[in-house]
Amino acid sequence: MNSITERSAAVLFKGNPASLLGPEIKVGDKAPDFRVVDNGLQPVTLATDAGKIRLIAVAPSLDTALCDTMTRKFNQDAAALPDSVVVYTITVDLPFAQKRWCGNAGIDKVKTLSDYQERSFGLNYGVLLKDLKLLARSVFVIDAEDNIAYVELVPEVTTEPDYTAALTAVKALL
């Protein structure tokens, strides 16, 4: 059985050091596979949108103001991207809650995905908060060949990511 890497005090959560489970993913790495579910409980893996550029925004919960803002911003930005790009938001919220939230928020470009079942995205991408079992705020861009092209692990989970840098990374791949 593989042991899980623990990265102590890798981020802050509300000013307090928080440990992450899983490896540190770096630009140039092969994107790890994962298994999450969409709003209809259908599995989504790295292969689901193979051949496309994937911008993956990771957040603790859509039911918080900052995660709401982040997902709305990426939804707005996604509208200007070509069909060769897919934008995901991954949280551990239940798929039913994600679907309700998207309907209420008018989210139609971002695909919300849930890591509630296995936490495989969180563990494989090194963003699972050990004690809270939530995902740390982060952004990954994966190119069409499944290579990591951009990583931002937001140092304080309760702050916003660098939207411009993430979109610049996506546009550089077009």
Give catalytic residue positions: 67
Four-residue CA torsion sign, 136, 141, 142, 148: negative
Interhelix angle for 95-105 vs 65-78, to 10°? Answer: 70
Within its chain, how far is the Cα of 161 from the centroid? 11
Smallest CA-to-CA distance from 124 within 45, 17, 37 is with 45
Q: Which two tokens stand for residue 163?
A: 């939207």
